[in-house]
Amino acid sequence: MNGIEYLLSNINSISGIGTKTSNLLKKKNIFTIFDLLWNLPRDFIDRSNIFKINKLEIGKVQTLKVLVNKYNFPRIRNLPNKVICEDDTGKIDCIFFNSYEGYIRKILPLNNEVIISGKISFFNKRYQIINPTHISTNENSVKKIQPKYSLTDGLNEKKYQKIINTVLKSLPDLDEWLSRDMSKRFNNISWKNSILQLHDPKNYNKKGDFLNRLIFDEILSNFLISSSVRSKIKKNKKTKKIFDNGPISSVMKKINFKLTNDQLMAINEINKDLRSDMKMFRLLQGDVGSGKTIVSLIASLNVINSKFQVAFMAPTEILAKQHYNLAIKIFDNNINVDILTGKTEFKERKKILKNLSEGKIDLLIGTHSLFQNKIKYNKLGLIIIDEQHKFGVKQRKKLSDKAGKNCDVLVMSATPIPRTMIMTIYGDMDTSIIRSKPKERKEIKTFSKNEKKIDEILKFVQKQIHNGNQIFWVCPLIDESKKVDHQSSIKRYEILKQILKNKVGLLHGGLEKDEKEKILFKFLNKQIDVIVSTTVIEVGIDFPNANVIIIENANKFGLSQLHQLRGRVGRGTKESFCILMFKNNLSENAKKRIKILKSTNDGFKISEEDMKLRGYGDLLGFKQSGVKNFRLADPIHNEDLFLLAEKEVKKIEKENINLNKYNSLLKLYDRADILNDIV
């Protein structure tokens, strides 16, 4: 077995680990020997001080020097063995569960002086230590400082120490994968040495140096894997798309606004990709309402003009419909647009599939149904995926492969995330970012209101309705773990119905998909003025007429989520409002969130603040991104190492360095389980 195989082997293969222990370790997400290494000491226990019995503190781990005074080995099942020890200030009991007499006699020989150590407790008016962890007859042989690991119930410190020591002793030497420059940056500390040092009590207070090297490894591996997916995708030459910009001006005439600079820049970047002989694999990122749809439709038009078909995948039926309507409106009649969703009837569907395979449809908009096996395109040239932050790197790669060699890929996401996160989640793609919103877009005015003042809010709502505006009223799930708990929204709906009669609709996760869409359509067509809902209001739907969102119990939501919710309004040119309702006694953190929201509408800024408050793991979309959490690296705190790794990967790409050199690294950290797919 080579070093890597050893590290990736099951923890069962360590002698002394049976099914029971391995099940306990699994609870801590430790499956392989490599996993075990990442359970770094949480802390170190200092045993360098020897305490007298009258100076012991209950609950602390302390070390003492005592004389073994008396054995008490009851011959009754379930009663523990006891050894009474003393020093010149008092007595203490050592209690042993499940230990043989012979063993106890050996480690605590009668009338000898010994060093014992363990957690001090108090029972029957006497100090005691249960299963003392470190016993020695020689003061000098007691390990002065011991690492402390985070363990689960049932796994004791001593056993764990033994396991980890076994592993550390047989840690293989791996060939250095870092370049000479990088290695030097981390003081030439090898991977193995970093690990050993981090588990070593000597380094009690100075893990920084060793940790950084390991964090860098982790980031580098993530980036290298993305980079190889990327180069794999780019390797196959595609037919260049050939188009001129004429038809675009006809589109521009049909929309009543001018594109923003960021939109124009994104279009340029996309066009460049389309015209090149390398496959486009691009992320278009922009905050809610930044105008991604028009950019993607212009890209579609260019692809269609170069005699290719386009597939546009929306996350929901209603969004597909909305995109479809827009496409019909802005494209000339000679361009054939169609829509295919789960609801499309059999006959219609058959016709669409036939037209599609015969090349009679230029742009097909739809939901997931667009990529079922039965569907054959005539000449697919571009896939657009809207709001799919649930796609991980592996699924994207699959999609790109399935789309065929001439097909470009554009993914759109409305989750504004900092750059280190983009590099992590979307490192396999090129990115275009729409940062600025359309100029005439007014800031959404954000207020916070104590729920006691509900009467004022109701008055405001009625006034807005009177002016022809529409309102979202969001209630949180009362209990996140019970996804069916819609009480708060139902209650609010009942109250509003009494006042607003049939002008209010209710939307929650317990409704069937059809039912949900029906209500949204009603809202879109202005048959109702208010939607009371849980957070299910879909991402991305354009309700230009909705200009007020009221969020009850706003403190229950995270910052990014509040921002996304707020983004449901303010898409038209109307003045829009977001009212954050709260109860008394807000926590400091909740106050902070509300303050940040009031102060800015910039999604990027907000997500950065959110990461600072909650850590990156909770960031919207990250969990679904298919990127497993880093063990050590943190995109907020290790930004410098992320940038360093990015630079290094660029260098590796540029100098065409053979990735074989990084084989061990990649195998160890294959976090997306993707390696098999790409090499």
Binding site for Mg ion (CB under 5 A): 540
265 binds ligand ADP (CB under 6 A): no
CB-based closest residue to ligand ADP = 291
Please state whether beta strands 576-582 and 444-450 pair in parallel, antiparallel, or not at all (unpaired).
parallel
Q: Identify residues 406-425 at the interface with ligand ADP (CB under 6 A).
A: 414
> Residue 669 belongs to what H/E stretch?
none
The span of 275-283, 291-299, 584-592, 638-646 binding ligand ADP (CB under 6 A) equals 291-299
Using CB under 6 A as the binding rule, whether residue 300 contacts ligand ADP is answered as no
603 is in the binding site of which of Mg ion, ligand ADP, none (Cβ under 5 to 8 A by kind)? none
CA distance 587 to 594: 11
556 touches 589 (CB < 8 A): no
From 139-147, 257-265, 303-311, 545-553, span contacting ligand ADP (CB under 6 A) = 257-265
Q: What is the largest CA-CA distance in the chain?
A: 102
Q: Which of 666, 622, 669 is nearest to 421 (CA)?
A: 622
418 binds, among Mg ion, ligand ADP, none (CB under 5 to 8 A by kind): none
Nearer to ligand ADP, 226 or 290 (CB): 290
Partner that binds at residue 329, options Mg ion, ligand ADP, none, CB closer than 5 to 8 Å by kind: none
- Number of residues interacting with ligand ADP: please give it, by CB under 6 A: 19
Residue 122 corresponds to which tokens in the numbers above?
């108090």
Contact criterion met (CB below 8 Å) for 666 and 659: yes
Least distance in angstroms from the C-beta of 418 to ligand ADP: 19
Considering the complex, what minimum distance in angstroms separates the CB of residue 324 from ligand ADP? 13
Q: How many CB atoms within 10 Å of residue 485?
A: 18
Contact stretch for ligand ADP (CB under 6 A) within 228-236, 255-263, 335-343, 355-363: 255-263
- Residue 544 C-beta: closest distance to ligand ADP, Å: 5
Nearer residue to ligand ADP within complex by CB, 163 or 301: 301
Burial (CB < 10 A; 0-12, 13-18, 19+), residue 207, is middle
CB of 477 vs ligand ADP, minimal distance in Å: 24
Work out whether 438 is an interface residue with ligand ADP (CB under 6 A).
yes
| Nearer residue to Mg ion within complex by CB, 337 or 596 | 337
571 contributes a contact to ligand ADP by CB under 6 A = yes
Q: Considering the rule CB under 6 A, would residue 540 count as an interface residue with ligand ADP?
A: yes
What is the Cα–Cα distance from 619 to 608, expressed in whole angstroms?
A: 9
Cα 594 to Cα 446: distance, rounded to the nearest angstrom = 9
Query: Does 262 engage in binding with ligand ADP (CB under 6 A)?
Result: no
DSSP E strands: which ranges in 426-583? 430-434, 444-450, 470-474, 504-507, 530-533, 546-551, 576-582
| Neighbour tally for 554: CB within 10 Å | 25
Looking at the Cβ atoms of 233 and 310, the one nearer to Mg ion is 310
- What is the C-alpha separation between 282 and 412, in angstroms, rounded? 9
Rounded Cα–Cα distance for residues 653 and 316 (Å): 38
Q: Which stretch binds ligand ADP (CB under 6 A): 285-293, 553-561, 634-642, 668-676?
A: 285-293
Three-state DSSP class for 652? helix
Question: Which residues fall within 8 angstroms of residue 477, CB to CB, at 6 or more apart?
Answer: 483, 485, 486, 488, 509, 534, 535
To the nearest whole angstrom, how small is the minimum distance from the Cβ of residue 291 to Mg ion?
9
Q: Which is nearer to ligand ADP, 117 or 271 (CB)?
A: 271
Residues binding ligand ADP (CB under 6 A): 257-260, 263, 286, 288-294, 414, 438, 540, 542, 544, 571
